[in-house]
Amino acid sequence: MILTPQKPAVIQQKKPIIQISKKSRVVPRPLTELAPETAKLIEDVTVDRRGRLIPRLYSKMAASKELRSMLNLSARADAADVTRLSDQEPLQTLAQRARELGIEIDLNYTFAQPKKAVE
């Protein structure tokens, strides 16, 4: 038996078939095209494993918590020094400063009472 060299087998490569989806695609609008009120609500944009952009909105609860901590609204601290003063101390200080500046002021609690008619 005589061996003759054979031609190597040629593997035919098939062209990939591209299928176009008949479903319509939803393309997100750029953030610059959104109304300013709407764009302010978006905290972050993430990409999922399919390549879609997912906007993440600000959490009202987290924003409220952060705002309360910034403004120190939830602190249970003592009242400020001014609120601890009696009514006389601020009035005395105010009267003293008015005298130093040469201003006449009447520090009584009679507000919007009509003057008595002189007979």
Domain boundaries, the chain: 31-72
65 or 106, greater pLDDT: 65
C-alpha distances in Å from residue 67, one per residue of 61, 64, 74, 79: 10, 5, 10, 20
- Do 82 and 90 meet the contact criterion of CB atoms below 8 Å apart? yes
**89-116 residue pLDDT tens:** 778 888 899 889 988 887 776 666 666 7
Is residue 118 pLDDT above 80, yes or no?
Answer: no
For range 65-90, the mean pLDDT:
72
For range 2-28, the mean pLDDT:
65
Closest-CA residue to 57 (of 48, 65, 46): 46
Distance of alpha carbon 109 from the chain centroid: 44
C-alpha distances in Å from residue 119, one per residue of 2, 65, 112: 151, 64, 21
pTM: 0.34
